[in-house]
Amino acid sequence: MNFVDPKNSQHRPTGNYAEVLHKIIDDGVCPFCPSHLTKYHKRPLVEKKFWWVTDNMYPYSPVKHHRLLIHKEHISHANELSTEAWMEAQQILNEETERLKIKGGTLIMRFGETRFTGGSVSHLHAHITQSDPDHESYDPKKGLTMRIG
CA within 13 Å, CB half, 65: 21
**What is the separation, in whole angstroms, between the first and last Cα of the chain?**
30
Work out the average pLDDT over 101-119. 88
What are the tens digits of pLDDT across the range 49-82?
999 999 988 888 788 999 999 999 999 999 999 9
- Asked whether residue 89 carries a pLDDT value surpassing 70, the answer given is yes
Q: What is the DSSP string of the chain?
A: --SB-GGGGTT--SSSHHHHHHHHHHHTS-TTSTTTHHHH--S--EE-SSEEEEE-SS--BSEEEEEEEEESS---SGGG--HHHHHHHHHHHHHHHHHTT-SS-EEEEE-S-HHHH--SB-S-EEEEEEE-TTSTT-BTTTBSBSS--
What are the tens digits of pLDDT across the range 31-47?
899 999 988 888 889 99
Task: Output the pLDDT for position 42.
Answer: 87
What are the tens digits of pLDDT across the range 116-138?
877 788 899 999 999 888 888 87
Residue 148, CA distances (Å) to 29, 86, 142 in order = 24, 28, 15
Task: Output the pLDDT for position 59.
Answer: 84
Q: Are 105 and 16 in contact (CB under 8 A)?
A: no
Task: Output the pLDDT for position 147.
Answer: 45
Residues in Cβ contact with 83 at an 8 Å cutoff, skipping those fewer than 6 apart: none
